[in-house]
Amino acid sequence: MGTLSVSAPVNGTLVNGNPALREQPDQVVSAPYGSGWVAELIAADVGELQELMPAEVAREKARLDLQRFRRRVALHLLADDQGQ
């Protein structure tokens, strides 16, 4: 087991980390808005929080990003198959 640096969308001070992730790190992916939370921060500038996108928008953006990624991988694999 190791550590992983995670960036945050705002500047702040780390208040608490999720100890459950030591035993079940997959929760970050399977339950990011539930038991897979990563950290609690105190924002250095509360005004930065107003610039964050709502969770619903972030989820949709992530879904579309993943869809585009999968298509690119599929096209790349298809091109490799045709080249052999």
**Tens digits of residue pLDDT in 9-63:** 889 999 999 999 999 999 988 998 899 999 999 999 999 989 999 989 988 999 9
What is the C-alpha separation between 34 and 31, in angstroms, rounded? 5
**Tens digits of residue pLDDT in 62-83:** 999 999 999 999 998 988 777 6
As a three-state string, the secondary structure of 9-32 is CCCEEEEEECHHHHCCCCHHHHCC
**Tens digits of residue pLDDT in 46-57:** 999 899 999 899
pLDDT of residue 79: 86
